[in-house]
């Protein structure tokens, strides 16, 4: 059980990275190109691994409002996420920063990946709040333009 706990923590932290990848590109340095959606709304399938070990999977409905909210939040409700580096453009993702839990414990995070409007892959390297280094992968693909009824 003690070895399984870090994997669960990492799986939860990797889930938090979903928001970072799903953020729409914001106009700014991109200049005249304007704001473009990086991923499309609809029904998505996610899978997570910590090292070679599957850490879970899920289906999620991303509505346009959800995709737009990710640009503001870039985190789950369980953590406060601060990124010194946040580059999400031209099919590439690079994030570096920290995730802080509600007890004030800080975990450094470094993530890199790629995306298309209908898929993404994010490689996450982090240390748990206990200092244990972990590596994980999150992959997602859009399976439908419309969401499955709940």
As a whole-number percent, the residues of the chain with pLDDT over 70 amount to 68
Separation of alpha carbons 146 and 148, rounded Å: 7
Q: Is 90 exceeded by the pLDDT of residue 91?
A: no
DSSP secondary structure string for all residues of 24-69 = PB-SSTTGGG--B-SS--EEEEEEEEETTEEEEEEEEEE-HHHHHH
- pTM, 2 dp: 0.70
pLDDT tens digits, one per residue of 9-24: 444 444 444 443 443 3
pLDDT level of residue 75 (50, 70, 90 thresholds): low
pLDDT at res. 53:
93
Q: Could you tell me the two tokens for 6?
A: 């870090």
Provide mean pLDDT across the span 19-46: 55
pLDDT at res. 2:
41
DSSP secondary structure string for all residues of 79-142 = EEEEEEEEEEETTEEEEEEEEEETT--EEEEEEEEEEETTEEEEEEEEE-TTS-EEEEEEEEEE
Q: What is the number of other CB atoms lying within 10 angstroms of the CB of residue 5?
A: 12
Q: Could you tell me the two tokens for 27?
A: 């106009």
pLDDT tens digits, one per residue of 100-129: 889 999 989 898 988 888 998 989 898 887
Longest dimension (CA), the chain: 53
């Amino acid at each position: 059980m003690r070895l399984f706990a870090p994997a669960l923590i990492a799986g939860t932290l990797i889930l938090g990275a979903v928001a970072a990848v799903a953020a729409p590109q914001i106009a700014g340095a991109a200049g005249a190109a304007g704001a473009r959606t990086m991923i499309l709304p609809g029904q998505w399938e996610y899978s997570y691994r910590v090292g070679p070990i599957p850490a879970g999977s899920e289906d999620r409905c991303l509505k346009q409002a959800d995709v737009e909210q990710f640009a503001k939040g870039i985190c789950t409700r369980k953590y406060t996420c601060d990124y010194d580096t946040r580059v999400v453009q031209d099919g590439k993702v690079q994030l570096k920063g920290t995730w802080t839990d509600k007890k004030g414990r800080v975990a450094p995070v470094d993530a890199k990946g790629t995306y298309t409007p209908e898929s993404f892959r994010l490689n996450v390297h982090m240390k748990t709040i206990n200092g244990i280094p972990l590596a994980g992968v999150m992959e997602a693909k859009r399976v439908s333009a419309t969401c499955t009824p709940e």
